[in-house]
Chain A
Amino acid sequence: MKYLGWRLLHGVGLLALLSLLSFMLSQVASGDFYSQLRNDPRISPETVAALRAQAGIDRPFPIRYAAWIVAVSRGDFGYSLAYHRPVAPLLEERIGATLILTGAATLTTWLIAVPLGIWSAARRGKWGDRVSTVAVSLVLAVPDLVLAIALLVLSVQTGWLPAGGKISRGYAQMGSIQQLRDVAWHMVLPVTVLVAGSTPVLIRHTRASILEVMEAPFAMSARAQGIPRRRLLYRHLLPAALNPLISLLGLSLGSLLSASLLVEIVTGWPGLGPLFLEAVMARDFAVVLAVVMLSAAFLFIGNLVADLLLYRFDPRIRTVD
């Protein structure tokens, strides 16, 4: 419990440090939200300067940072200059869509990759393993971006899947089961891309760590004692091989908010991805900062979970200091 408290405290400290760093970055980044208006011949430099002063982004950096900290302590995450709205509801509208997508993708990845990795390790050097190796290199060779667009084109050509988006036109008129099915149908494509991106890594790690423990003395003796293969794999080898998988689990929990950025943009999924990218390009700093803080919080929690699980499940790590 004390450990947990400490870690949470560190998390808050790190968030503060991260926000400070981000503010400093925004200071040296080229241009601010209003500089792009300079390219519009209809708007004079004087107006741009006045808008800048009005938004307060020409104030010195310590003052802006202090103002931000004060606002955040009151639960106010700032004001989007592009949307002319507070940031918090802007994120609220979109965070659910992102979490549904990445949640489904993470679950699918683990359900596919761990059994496949074990299977592949169990038949090391045989045909099945070879085929899986080739398949993994095939999937690794295709970048997510290319895969996403290729799948989109394919689904339009064949009509198998909808061309991006989250819901169909007639969504409002559907019953709740149909609505659920509609969203799931739209999720197939982006989830496939996300799963294809993360599965090979997990398969390889599962396979490698299972192979590692297979050679360990206890596994040798268990095999000599005639414990059935399947039981050996799942009851004895998998728990012993968990270590790197737990670290990976932490990392994939931590990236729930950030993993789907690119895929969302390509498939027009209404999550945080398009909002974040547009905000970075437009230098809509309050939005950028809020998304960064939120994904950082996820990251810390993911790593914390992984560390707790490591202590819990790896019998060899004894002490929590």
Chain B
Amino acid sequence: MNRRWRIGLTSIFIALVVAPLLLAGFVAPYPYAEQHREYPYAPPAAVRFVKARPFVEVGGRWCEVRLLPGNGRLFGVAAPCVIFLSGTDGNGRDVFSRLLYGGRISLMTGLLSAFLSLALGLAAGVVAGYFGGWPDWLLMRGGELVMALPWLYLLLATRALLPLHISAVEAFVWPAAIIGAVGWVRPARLIRGVVLSGKERGFVLAARGFGAGHAYLIRRHLLPLTGSVVVTQATVLIPLYMLAEMSLSFLGLGVEEPMPSWGNMLTEASHYHALILHRWLLAPGVAAIPVLLGFLLLADILLDGRHD
């Protein structure tokens, strides 16, 4: 397959996967917090097509699904009927709707914190590897300290200093900032290794011999060498961080109820009873697969592009 085609197809794939998340307010049939208390743990609705018109079953009754029902949503069913494409949770909230809204939040958290980690890691790794000596010592030993710190304990401690209720924006920025700030050490160590090796390569030494400045050397010769590691780290960090906020909600620092995130949805799904009786709660795990696949394909293209 030729490269242009691959880029095109991958972009379309990612757009198709991400668009419903970004347009959650339109695509989801219900607001994320709406509780249908008569339908706790409703299983995913059965869908049937009669003369090419879709129907869903609710409590033995079949209702027609209509496109653009006029409430500003993409699709829906008329009032007494309800549509739960992926079932409901214990509060009777539509899992499909929450999946879309939650995906948007988790995606943003993942991207933001991965970006933060990589930016910090890149800066630290390049400085440590290129300059060596005390900056290297300071950054690497500091990194070890960061990795060795009992983060659970640290967060317990700092939580007491924050106000009890944090606003919706803060609730989104906090987890990303914490995860990102903790996670810079791994990429930094990897990048440092590459830079250490790269700065002794012939063309770098030659450029240095011609009197090239530090900034120039780093920008033109060393940064490109780190590309492969950075891209690969990004592809593994984004999925990791998308769900990392799971453990933060335990400390009251995660996304606040009733707002969904894939992390807190999966926490609910990862219990014995859910796996036995309510498997549809695992939907976010399934939905994450195409999103992550998109990132991996994108990474492949980026890596290839560097050699063409």
Binding site for B on A (CB under 8 A): 10, 14, 17-18, 21-22, 25-26, 28-30, 125, 133-134, 136-138, 140-143, 145-146, 149-150, 153, 200-201, 204-205, 208-209, 211-212, 215, 243-244, 246-248, 250-251, 254, 280, 288, 292, 295-296, 299-300, 303, 306, 310, 314, 316-318, 321
Contacts and interface: CB of A to CB of B under 8 A. Distances in A.
A115 to B, nearest CB: 18
Contact of B197 (A29, A146, A211, A314): A314
A30 B229 contact: no
Nearest to B194: A243
B231 A137 contact: no
A133 B297 contact: yes
Contacts of A211: 228, 303, 307
A248 B197 CA distance: 15
Nearest to B186: A251
B51 interface: no
Contacts of B267: 145
B253 to A, nearest CB: 13
A201 B183 CA distance: 15
B168 interface: no
B196 A26 contact: no
Contacts of B239: 137, 140-141
Contacts of A208: 228-229, 231-232, 303
A200 B232 CA distance: 11
Nearest to B238: A140
A316 B186 contact: no
B69 interface: no
Interface string B209-240: 00000000000000000001101100110011
Contacts of A299: 144, 147-148
A22 B151 CA distance: 10
Contacts of B157: 25-26, 28-30
Given A134-B293, A153-B275, A303 B189 contact: yes
B272 A138 contact: no
A288 B292 contact: no
Contacts of A14: 141, 144-145, 148
Contact of A136 (B148, B285, B296): B296
A133 B292 contact: no
B292 A141 contact: yes
Given A21-B149, A22-B150, A208-B303, A250 B189 contact: yes
B160 A29 contact: yes
Contact of B272 (A137, A149, A316): A149
Contacts of B272: 149, 153
Contact of A141 (B132, B152, B285): B285
Nearest to B204: A316
Interface string B154-177: 101111110000000000000000
Contacts of B186: 251
18 contacts: A137-B295, A140-B236, A141-B285, A143-B270, A145-B246, A153-B276, A204-B232, A205-B229, A205-B232, A208-B303, A209-B228, A211-B228, A250-B189, A254-B147, A300-B144, A306-B189, A316-B197, A316-B200
A143 B190 contact: no
Contact of B153 (A26, A133, A142, A254): A26
Interface string B193-211: 1101110110000000000
B196 A244 contact: no
B285 A149 contact: no
Contacts of B228: 208-209, 211-212
B266 interface: yes
B153 A25 contact: yes
B37 interface: no
B140 interface: yes
Contact of A18 (B149, B160, B192, B240): B149
Contacts of B190: 205, 244, 247-248
B269 interface: yes
B236 A201 contact: yes
Contact of B266 (A22, A143, A251): A143
A200 B235 CA distance: 10
Contacts of B243: 143
Contacts of B271: 149
B150 A288 contact: yes
B140 A246 contact: no
A18 B145 contact: yes
Given A146-B269, A211-B303, A314-B197, A280 B152 contact: yes
A215 B269 CA distance: 45
A25, A209, A292: residue with the most chain B Cβ atoms closer than 10 Å: A25
B161 A28 contact: yes
B282 interface: yes
Given A21-B149, A30-B157, A244 B193 contact: yes
Contact of B288 (A141, A201, A306, A321): A141
Interface string B286-308: 10110111011101100100010
A295 B152 CA distance: 14
Given A30-B156, A30-B159, A208-B231, A244 B293 contact: no
